[in-house]
Amino acid sequence: MNIPIPGLRAIRRLYAAFFLGLFFFLLIIADFRRMQGYDIPMFLEMDPLVAIGGFMTSQTLYDGLILALVILVPTLFLGRFFCSWICPLGILNQLFGLRATGPRPSQSHRLNAYRPLFRIKYYLLTLLLVVALAGGLQVGVLDPIALVVRSMTVAGLPLLDQAGGLGIYANGPIFHGGLVITMLFFAILAANRFMPRFWCRVLCPLGALLGVLSRWSIFGIQRHVEHCTGCNRCLQSCQGGCDPHAAWRRSECHLCMNCIEDCPTGALHYGLPKTSSSIHQPLDLNRRRLLETAVGSMAVFPLMRSSVSAVTLDHPALIRPPGSLAEDDFARRCIKCAACMRVCPTNVLQPALLEGGWEGIWTPILINRIGYCEHHCVLCGLVCPTGAIRPLSVNQKVGRPPFDHPIRLGTAFFDHGRCLPWAMDVPCIVCEEVCPTSPKAIWYRTVTQTHRNGHTITLKQPYVQPDLCIGCGICEHKCPVTGHAAIRVSSVGESRSKTNQMLLKTNPGSSPPP
């Protein structure tokens, strides 16, 4: 007879506490003051859904994502352990789901039984993978690791910082469109009030992927038929809704080990199946619905691109972080995790809305009225888990030897109708003073203007030299004109694009365009 191992639940809780603490530790220290020496994107790099989705869209596997094998390989042997032992969103859902239904055992039995509703996550996984095969990387929208990093960056950490004065951020951050991200995250946590671990059971695509892999796991929860009395005690705190009291569903089991310790007769154990063990239920999927989902998903990505993206590829506000790949390649790599936004010291990196089309929602863009790209900062490329933002050295970014040219994010343009020296005859050279390039991209001419009343005034009227401008946005950020700044950065002239230029160079010997 198999004897249940005592303390498995306590061991799982220790691991869960350790990994949740490690996740928040890496998230909190992810800034320019404290991140040296730590693998900040570790949780994102060991995410199997991110690795598989990125490989499907770009046909390459970024070196850091090899860490995903740490989760994939053990799942084939042990089962879906990640969801209750390591996943930060799974652990948070478990914490918020504690006693969600109150001390009513009969209610717990009903809520923790398996439902056909749990199939939805497999259909969502199918949709995301089919879209990835078509070239659209949207796994980060619903991936639990990317979702919780994005939510904590935009909502959780700023809230904790303001409430407790923890010094997580150097300045109070604000985020473009952050309310939607915040509401989605709180809705996921609040759903535990109606069904424990609703997200994990019904919607999580990573859980679905691990559930499919765990079908072939060697070890699992085994029920000794002769010892089971049918008391249903195992359902009272079951986290996965996997029916351990009947034919156990291994693809739904989170391996929380609650059922083993709740069983009064020792009928449940974790290990290899025996001749007296009950049979296991196969993966519960409707093949017709799965095929319909796959066929319908084939139309999603073309519709996303044809509706908005095609006309916004060179959108002037689509200013990407330094080191970003060309827009098509960037869209195939970026998972919208907001790790780059977390480390940005000036808060200039913001989640995009429709500047990059539907497929670009929540990808990072620069909004220079909120911040600016610090001249010697390269942190965003160091924490990007997928290579959408290439790691840069400071010398490479600013164009010091052995590099010939700096990384250009765009070009600044003056609005003479709003510029104080140009339109109002008011002295101002703030933009020239803060320009970080050497020689400065912003220069001025001294002119003498005559007022309508006959008085004269000497002014310094600023100009931009485009070949020196790197598009860092500090001039726009510091411009004293409220509302729209008198100098604004556009993505035109960016280094990553050969077409988004002010003047396209013709081939030698060819005729210039008419």
pLDDT of 213 strictly over 90: yes
- Residue 297 forms part of a structural domain: no
Q: Model confidence at 147, in pLDDT bands (50, 70, 90)?
A: very high
Determine the length of the chain. 514
Give the mean pLDDT of 131-146: 92
| Per-residue pLDDT, 444 | 94
- Residue 360 forms part of a structural domain: no
Residue 144 tokens, joined: 């639990």
Residue 162 tokens, joined: 């303001």
Q: How far apart are the first and last CA of the chain?
A: 88
Give the mean pLDDT of 54-78: 88
- Residue 312 forms part of a structural domain: no
Q: Quick: pLDDT tens for 44-57.
A: 999 999 999 999 99
Q: Last residue of some domain: 220, 248, 271?
A: 271
- Residue 187 forms part of a structural domain: yes
| Per-residue pLDDT, 393 | 94
| Per-residue pLDDT, 34 | 67
Do the strands 364-366 and 411-414 form a parallel or antiparallel pair, or are they unpaired? Answer: unpaired
| CATH code for position 450 | 3.30.70
> What's the rounded Cα separation, in Å, for the pair 328 and 134?
13
Q: Please indicate whether residue 277 or residue 387 has the higher confidence score (pLDDT).
A: 387
DSSP letter for 193, please. Answer: G
pLDDT of 506 strictly over 70: no
| Per-residue pLDDT, 30 | 83
Q: Model confidence at 171, in pLDDT bands (50, 70, 90)?
A: low
| Per-residue pLDDT, 509 | 42
In order of 54, 57, 65, 74, 387, the CA distances from 69 in angstroms are 14, 19, 8, 8, 18
Cis peptide before 402 (omega within 30 of 0): yes
In order of 79, 168, 307, the CA distances from 164 in angstroms are 39, 10, 44
Residues 415 and 266 in one domain: no
As for how many domains the chain has, the answer is 2
Do the strands 220-223 and 456-464 form a parallel or antiparallel pair, or are they unpaired? Answer: unpaired
Q: Last residue of some domain: 234, 250, 271?
A: 271
Provide DSSP, 43-89: HHHT-HHHHHHHHHHHS---GGGGGGHHHHHHHHHH-S-HHHHT-HH
pLDDT of 100 strictly over 70: no
Beta bridge partners of 222: 269
Tell the burial category of 513 from Cβ atoms under 10 Å away from its Cβ (0-12, 13-18, 19+).
exposed
C-alpha radius of gyration, the chain, whole number: 28
- Residue 393 forms part of a structural domain: no
Query: To 5 degrees, how large is the angle CA 366–CA 368–CA 372?
Result: 85
Give the mean pLDDT of 166-173: 67
- Residue 402 forms part of a structural domain: no
454 Cα distance to chain centroid: 60
pLDDT of 105 strictly over 50: no
Closest by Cα among 469, 462, 466 to 447: 462
Neighbours of 161 (CB within 10 A): 16
Closest by Cα among 392, 345, 388, 353 to 370: 345
pLDDT of 206 strictly over 90: yes
DSSP letter for 353, please. Answer: S
Is the alpha carbon torsion for 387, 124, 175, 469 positive or negative?
positive
**Window from 6-10, 49-53, 252-256, 283-287 with minimum mean pLDDT:** 6-10
Q: Please indicate whether residue 145 or residue 2 has the higher confidence score (pLDDT).
A: 145
Amino acid of residue 1 = M
| Per-residue pLDDT, 356 | 82
**Window from 20-29, 102-111, 120-129, 428-437 with minimum mean pLDDT:** 102-111
Q: Model confidence at 2, in pLDDT bands (50, 70, 90)?
A: very low
Q: Please indicate whether residue 149 or residue 313 has the higher confidence score (pLDDT).
A: 149
- Residue 343: which residues within 8 A CB-CB, separation 6 or more? 30, 31, 32, 35, 40, 379, 380, 382, 383
Beta bridge partners of 460: 446
Q: Please indicate whether residue 223 or residue 206 has the higher confidence score (pLDDT).
A: 206
- Residue 514 forms part of a structural domain: no
pLDDT of 145 strictly over 90: yes
pTM, full prediction: 0.89
Q: Last residue of some domain: 271, 296, 329?
A: 271
pLDDT of 368 strictly over 90: yes
Specify the 3-state DSSP secondary structure of 449.
strand
Q: Model confidence at 514, in pLDDT bands (50, 70, 90)?
A: very low
Neighbours of 9 (CB within 10 A): 17
User: Domain residues for 22?
Assistant: 8-271
Q: Model confidence at 155, in pLDDT bands (50, 70, 90)?
A: confident
Give the mean pLDDT of 272-285: 78
Amino acid of residue 254 = H
State the average pLDDT for the chain: 86
Q: Please indicate whether residue 348 or residue 236 has the higher confidence score (pLDDT).
A: 348
**Window from 105-119, 297-311, 424-438 with minimum mean pLDDT:** 297-311
**Window from 176-180, 313-317, 343-347, 421-425 with minimum mean pLDDT:** 313-317
Query: To 5 degrees, how large is the angle CA 216–CA 219–CA 224?
Result: 115
pLDDT of 14 strictly over 90: yes
- Residue 436 forms part of a structural domain: yes
DSSP letter for 152, please. Answer: I
235 Cα distance to chain centroid: 34
